[in-house]
Structure 1
Amino acid sequence: MLQDKTLIDEIKKLIASARETTIRSVDFQRTLLYWHIGERMFNEEQKGKERADYGTYLVKHLSEALQPEFGSGFSYRNLNWYRQFYKTFPIVSALRTQLSWTHYKTLIGFDDKDKIDYYIAETVKNNWSVRQMERQVNSQLFERLLLSNDKESVLAVARNEQLPTRPEEIIKDPMVLEFLGLRRESAYYEKDLEQAIITHLQDFLLELGNGFSFVARQKRIHLEGDDFFIDLVFYNRLLQCFVLFEIKTHKLTHEDIGQLQMYVNYFDRVEKVEHEKPTIGVLLCADKNNAVVRFSLPEDNKTILASQYKVILPTEEQLLNEIKKEIDLINEQQTN
């Protein structure tokens, strides 16, 4: 009987795998169709380039001819999408079978080619669904990583051309936790934020990024009669180290930094084995003073980071302001 169940489970997996492969194949053929339609429209449009409104006329004419027979996929709006698809991705051999048409539609119109390349590489590497990729785009993941990294390093890590070697290459600042469902103006305790993260652990791991796995919650440390509890413990297989998170719903203080430093020291001396890298500590805080963080830590600090969290998606303007503040801080440090 046990053998029958094993056989049935194996066949079910084969069927599920074949279905997934078929769906992906059909979707990619649809993507190729839209690309070729866009290419044909674009080339035809160039022939009538003396007439500035020829492109609009062409799309309208094609829509009227195709939509009655082939449906809403060939509406005026969708045909414009196909034309823009070709203009954004002009090399058909560069299209990835792992991405659906809806994936590509999310990226159509981006002006920054590096930004497009990043999201394609990360989607392929992490097998992001459309919803997951849209969430990362809407939370400005690429721009957030650029706050503490150069563009070349961000792209190289995404493409698996190099492994991350510094915590700044993985830990984002700010972190966007809109999926927790918390209101910015609401009062909540640190335990509430921690519980919300555990409840939405899969989404939190997506926000953390590559290589993270959950280890423990409220990890107990017993030191000569005194007990301490680390909020969240993760492990990152790319950095090959433990990553400790302390949650603070207030503005960060130097006492918070000292507390996390003790936890990091404990893990390095007790938990870490020989082949692992030094433990990283992350203070996930509602607000912070970068100068206080900087002067509370040694100049050669490489293990303690402070990351501000946001419970709503930041606008592009807000993010640009964050980047400007970071650049100003770097310039100030270089001047001093």
Structure 2
Amino acid sequence: MKQISKSFVENIRQIISQAQANAVRAVNHERVLMYWEIGRHIVEEEQNGKERADYGTFLLKNLAELLEKDFGSGFSVRQLELCRQFFNTFSITNTLRSQLNWSQYKLLLRIQDEDKRTYYIEETCNNNWSARQLERQINSQLYERLLLSNEKEKVLAVAKKEAQPESPREIIKDPMVLEFLGLKPQASYYEKDLENALISNMQTFLLELGNGFSFVARQKRIQLEDDPYFIDLVFYNRLLRCFVLIEIKTHKLTHQDLGQLQMYVNYYDRTEKQADENPTIGIILCADKNNTMVEYALPKHNTNILASKYQLYLPKKEELEKEFEKIIQDS
């Protein structure tokens, strides 16, 4: 009996998997449209009520009771309130994205600032974030952290693909949030421990690094005459079109650390970088840093050596607001 080729079977599997994925997306989009239509009808009915506020409460309560009898607990008062909010927030149906499901829209409805909400919509669609990944990015204050070193218009333009990042500061965050490692902030760690934890959680670390990163190597050995050196982590960024070297320091950053990273960047620029690629970027991921020391330790117009403080917990809004104030005062 003639055997079926593996490539043929694999092609059939891909067709089935793709069809299943398309079906799930179609169902999710229809669900989103259903909630939008429910919200529209509620808003229009409320506007016809004589006393809008009182009538709205009466309407949702009674509508929920009737719908739950027919369709179950998925149409509670709270769910109907969300439908109303959904329509009021996205009142033009053409603005709804087929890539987003209802769980993601519920997360987006919590965001009051329109620019911030737009940013997360664009990035979710660009990167195919799941609802869980979107929630993590919102909770880690990704948008606010990018604004610490960028203009709002530039951040939104890159997210909307209206512009390409021109500088590493446009996509690299400071601080970087590594709460997904599950390490206790108050404990002391060896650099090897932190590196191993990052490797074990590489998918989430790539999400934190940002758009366009791919992992290349860890403990990359380079030989300078008789002396071997080891670069902690090597990445490549397709948007910036360059190598990105990351050194991990679990202590407060020193000028010697910056000198070491500068040597690694120089090596990559002279031996690994292709003629059509951009200069190598070096990032020191450190437990703490003195920004003034970093400024004076590096050339005045440096753009390729960055120091990013890591933290092992989700940032508080108040902390980022203080950072904003510092930047405004210094500018």
- TM-score of the pair, normalised by structure 2: 0.97
Q: Is the Cα contact below 8 Å between 1:194 and 1:247 reproduced in 2?
A: yes
Question: Counterpart of 1:310?
Answer: 311
Question: Counterpart of 2:271?
Answer: 270
Deviation digits for residues 134-166 of structure 1, max 9, x if unmatched?
111111111111111111111111111111110
Question: Counterpart of 1:94?
Answer: 95
Q: What's the secondary structure of 1:188's corresponding residue?
A: coil
Question: Counterpart of 2:44?
Answer: 43
Q: What's the secondary structure of 1:52's corresponding residue?
A: helix
Deviation at 1:3, TM superposition (A): 4.4
Q: What's the secondary structure of 1:53's corresponding residue?
A: helix
Deviation at 1:58, TM superposition (A): 1.4
Question: Counterpart of 1:119?
Answer: 120
Question: Counterpart of 1:52?
Answer: 53
Deviation at 1:254, TM superposition (A): 1.1
Deviation at 1:186, TM superposition (A): 1.3
Question: Counterpart of 1:144?
Answer: 145
| AA partner of residue 18 (structure 2) | S
| AA partner of residue 70 (structure 1) | F
Q: What's the secondary structure of 2:5's corresponding residue?
A: helix
Question: Counterpart of 1:334?
Answer: none
Question: Counterpart of 2:9?
Answer: 8
| AA partner of residue 185 (structure 2) | R
Q: Is the Cα contact below 8 Å between 2:248 and 2:286 reproduced in 1?
A: yes
Cα distance in 2, alignment partners of residues 253 and 48 from structure 1: 67
Range 126-135 or range 318-327, more displaced = 318-327
| AA partner of residue 298 (structure 1) | P
Question: Counterpart of 2:134?
Answer: 133
Deviation at 1:126, TM superposition (A): 0.9
Question: Counterpart of 1:160?
Answer: 161
Question: Counterpart of 1:32?
Answer: 33
Cα distance in 1, alignment partners of residues 40 and 210 from structure 2: 35
Cα distance in 1, alignment partners of residues 159 and 283 from structure 2: 22
Q: What's the secondary structure of 1:283's corresponding residue?
A: strand
Deviation digits for residues 163-221 of structure 1, max 9, x if unmatched?
11100011111111111111101121111000000011111111111111111111112
Range 52-61 or range 185-194, more displaced = 52-61
Q: Is the Cα contact below 8 Å between 2:249 and 2:284 reproduced in 1?
A: yes
Give me the CA root mean square deviation.
1.3
| AA partner of residue 261 (structure 2) | L
| AA partner of residue 45 (structure 2) | E
- Map of 1:133-282 to 2, 5 A cutoff? 133-282=134-283
Q: Is the Cα contact below 8 Å between 1:88 and 1:109 reproduced in 2?
A: no
Question: Counterpart of 1:109?
Answer: 110
Structure 1's 56 and 276: CA in aligned 2 closer, same or farther, altered over 3 A? same
Cα distance in 1, alignment partners of residues 135 and 324 from structure 2: 22
| AA partner of residue 42 (structure 2) | M
Deviation at 1:53, TM superposition (A): 2.4
Q: Is the Cα contact below 8 Å between 2:284 and 2:306 reproduced in 1?
A: yes
Identical positions, percent:
61
Unpaired segments of 5 or more residues in structure 2? none
Q: Is the Cα contact below 8 Å between 2:46 and 2:52 reproduced in 1?
A: no
Q: Is the Cα contact below 8 Å between 1:213 and 1:235 reproduced in 2?
A: yes
